[in-house]
Structure 1
């Protein structure tokens, strides 16, 4: 089975720019997309996020999101570490809501229903298609996240923990080796 495309920084920028320019809900859609790219979250985990997972009692965006067993694929709770730029994006999204969030879920469809994993998958697929990114799927963000960290020298055990994988062989399949990584590798000699 062919794997989802990993995106270059320019391709991610293009998807974000097109989403901001063309989407009916640009903050929501950009935030959903970036959670997969900057936090390595599965699309089903993004769809299952509750406001209380992301915002603490003081109204601040958390630096760590604890996913409960029922929110993850492998039925194992895990912690998602949220980089500063993602925290800023989440804050912008929360402030941009046209009306108060009545649902406990962070992301809602235009009919104010929560996204299912399947609906969110299809939604991200449309964002990539609209930007003209061929081969990208809802899993592209996760593969890009793992590949970029691997290229920066993050060890496979840390990558597996960040991805919520129990087996490092699973994580290794996510890493997309490219010419730039090989060029950088030989320069280490």
Structure 2
């Protein structure tokens, strides 16, 4: 896939190959399950670093404690004044279930992501985690926002084929306007050529 150059200052998009390499690299690390959840919360659900740090089990479980099919973010951890709901991908649901299974005495208000000291991870801790993760995998230009940009771009590229629109992408991203959502989306030169040839 050919991509146009990203605007200056924006986090780099992660390719499918890079995503697989990162997930494979996490298998060999301490806190592998937690780290996979952190990575997939950004690339499969578009969460910001602040939202990853603020996520509670009550936002991903039902009344019986089972992992649900969607993340229900509350306004308290989102940017702006509204919460939002994001459907859970199969991959993310599976790693959340594994993390939950291997955690002890979880309460609904407990953070999903804990530091090595078993305390709530801070926003800055999440940002640092991603800086080291991408550096260790040789990815230049990536930051804690790369997964989010990747999620929004991939979603925008697929949403119309399943009957959705950019408005759906905007809602899942938690943006106040479509113009903000559009600024996150990476262009695709090949798609442009194919689209023009269909006219």
- Give structure 2 stretches of 5+ with no counterpart: 1-7
User: Residues 159 and 166 of structure 2 are in contact (CA less than 8 Å); yes or no, is this contact kept in structure 1?
Assistant: no
**How do 1:52-131 and structure 2 match up within 5 A?**
52-97=58-103, 99-101=104-106, 104-131=110-137
**How do 1:1-189 and structure 2 match up within 5 A?**
1-21=8-28, 23-97=29-103, 99-101=104-106, 104-154=110-160, 155-186=165-196, 188-189=198-199
- Which segment drifts farther, 162-171 or 146-155? 146-155
- Give structure 1 stretches of 5+ with no counterpart: none
Which string of whole-angstrom CA distances, capped at 9 and with x for unpartnered residues, describes residues 57-111 of structure 1?
22311112221111101121211221223211211121233x4447711111001
Which string of whole-angstrom CA distances, capped at 9 and with x for unpartnered residues, describes residues 13-64 of structure 1?
111111222x211110011110111111112111101112112222311112
Distance of aligned partners of 1:51 and 1:95 in 2 relative to their CA distance in 1, 3 Å threshold: same
User: Residues 147 and 176 of structure 1 are in contact (CA less than 8 Å); yes or no, is this contact kept in structure 2?
Assistant: yes
TM-score (norm 2): 0.86
User: Residues 13 and 146 of structure 2 are in contact (CA less than 8 Å); yes or no, is this contact kept in structure 1?
Assistant: yes
